[in-house]
């Protein structure tokens, strides 16, 4: 039996455990620097920066989703789905779709007419699911990131 | 002479004008449904959902940037750069880099160690600039979006 609820601050250790599992699945384990303290501070304060959802299957933690408000300069408020993850032993039960469905309901409640997210190009099972849901793939976009020293250098007033 | 300032609500018409120019440049003009009223409501209320920056060259509006806080489940707070645009007649003056530099400074002030954004794969001049800034291209990601009727269907409780 599936149930989905908003993550509580008491579930931060579980959330981090599943984030690390997800990063390992994505072959990005070495990128995880977030801590329980950061998740507690950023997700469960007066102005949370994200919302976490936990899926349970027969009362066992089966997966999670994380989302936050984003903004499209072309369309206005959108919801960004940062992660959706289902643990290996709980796959093929519709849990991922149910998590995205809850996030979609949050989007509509918040006045967003779109949900957006990224998928790894090699994750064909996820791509197939998203296609069946009617998702549009923005094939001509590349994701870009700048951080650490390059970010600090860019922010220097003498950069121009 | 270049100057950059935070957009004010009085500059919403100018902001929309440049958003439409940018969308036209990106060959996505038909995607723009945002209005002045939405930009004023979402960017200039008590809890703004984005921040707009306007670049001026000799007091003429030369470009803009739009950013908002995002969250990485792997690294914590990051800043998302939604748009950076320089009008055709003002290019090759370092204005785009200066706008991104201001956004980078906002990121650091807000405790974000990373800035992230998307670029259109065919926009090689922009890609070249970002590479010189030390940006990392996440080549294995695809951007996905679901909206309108598909989003509403996904949000229905009877979906599973």
Taking residues A72-77, what's their average pLDDT?
97
Shortest Cα distance from B14 to chain A (angstroms)? 13
Taking residues A47-58, what's their average pLDDT?
97
User: Could you tell me if B97 lies within 8 Å of chain A, comparing CB atoms?
Assistant: yes
d(CA B155, CA A109): 10
Q: Is the pLDDT of residue B158 over 60?
A: no
d(CA B75, CA A12): 15
**A65 Cβ neighbours under 8 A, 6+ residues apart:** A52, A53, A55, A81, A83, A84, A85, A99, A100, A102, A103
Q: If pLDDT is split at 50, 70 and 90, which confidence band does A4 have? A: very high
Backbone dihedral region for residue B24 (phi beyond 0: left; psi -120 to 50: alpha; all else: beta): alpha
Of A108, A138, A146, the CB nearest to B135: A146
Chain A contact probe: residue of B14, B35, B147, B156 with most A CBs at under 10 A: B147
Joined tokens for residue B138: 């996440």
pLDDT at A157: 74
Does the beta-carbon distance from A127 to B142 stay under 8 Å? yes
Structural domains of chain B sorted by starting position, each given as residue range(s) with its CATH number in brackets: 2-119 (3.40.630.30)
Q: Is the pLDDT of residue B159 over 60?
A: no
Of A33, A114, A122, the CB nearest to B145: A114
Q: If pLDDT is split at 50, 70 and 90, which confidence band does A159 have? A: very low
Shortest Cα distance from B20 to chain A (angstroms)? 8
Shortest Cα distance from B9 to chain A (angstroms)? 15
DSSP-derived secondary structure for B78-136: EEEEEEEEE-GGG-SSSHHHHHHHHHHHHHHHTT-SEEEEEEETT-HHHHHHHHHTTPE
d(CA A101, CA A115): 11
Chain B, nearest residue to A15 by Cα: B73
Of B31, B42, B139, the CB nearest to A142: B139
What does the pLDDT look like over B33-91, one tens digit per residue?
999 999 999 999 999 999 999 999 999 999 999 999 999 999 999 999 999 999 999 99
B83 CB neighbours in chain A (<8 A) are: 73
Q: If pLDDT is split at 50, 70 and 90, which confidence band does B4 have? A: very high
Shortest Cα distance from B135 to chain A (angstroms)? 5
Q: Which of residues 121-150 of A touch B (CB under 8 A)?
A: 121-122, 127, 130, 133-150
pLDDT at B157: 74
Q: If pLDDT is split at 50, 70 and 90, which confidence band does A70 have? A: very high
Q: Tokens 């920066």 sit at which residue?
A: A49
B122 CB neighbours in chain A (<8 A) are: 140
**Greatest CA separation found in chain A?**
59
Average pLDDT of chain A is: 95
Identify the DSSP state of A69: E
A158 CB neighbours in chain B (<8 A) are: none
pLDDT at A49: 97
d(CA A93, CA A31): 29
**B22 Cβ neighbours under 8 A, 6+ residues apart:** A73, B83, B85
Q: Is the pLDDT of residue B160 over 90?
A: no
User: Could you tell me if B89 lies within 8 Å of chain A, comparing CB atoms?
Assistant: no
pLDDT at A158: 53
d(CA A62, CA A46): 28
Taking residues A104-122, what's their average pLDDT?
95
CB B146 within 8 A of CB A97: no
User: Could you tell me if B2 lies within 8 Å of chain A, comparing CB atoms?
Assistant: yes
Of B28, B143, B144, the CB nearest to A74: B28
Chain A contact probe: residue of B17, B35, B50, B73 with most A CBs at under 10 A: B73
d(CA A29, CA A27): 6
Taking residues A72-92, what's their average pLDDT?
97
Q: Is the pLDDT of residue A160 over 50?
A: no
Taking residues A94-111, what's their average pLDDT?
96
Specify the pTM: 0.94
Of B68, B117, B136, the CB nearest to A71: B68
Q: Tokens 């259109």 sit at which residue?
A: B120
């Amino acid at each position: 039996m599936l149930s989905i609820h908003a993550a509580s601050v008491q579930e931060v250790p579980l959330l981090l455990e599943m984030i690390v599992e997800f990063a390992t699945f994505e072959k990005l384990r070495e990128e995880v620097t977030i801590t329980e303290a950061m998740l507690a501070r950023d997700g469960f304060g007066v102005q949370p920066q994200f919302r976490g959802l936990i899926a349970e299957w027969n009362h066992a933690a089966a997966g999670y989703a994380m989302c936050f408000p984003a903004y499209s300069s072309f369309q206005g408020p959108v919801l960004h789905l940062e992660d959706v993850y289902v643990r290996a032993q709980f796959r093929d039960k519709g849990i991922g779709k149910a998590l995205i469905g809850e996030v979609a309901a949050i989007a509509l409640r918040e006045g967003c007419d779109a949900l957006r997210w990224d998928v790894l190009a090699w994750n064909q099972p996820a791509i197939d699911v998203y296609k069946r849901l009617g998702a549009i793939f923005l094939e001509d976009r590349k994701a870009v990131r700048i951080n650490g020293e390059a970010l600090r250098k860019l922010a220097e007033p003498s950069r121009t």
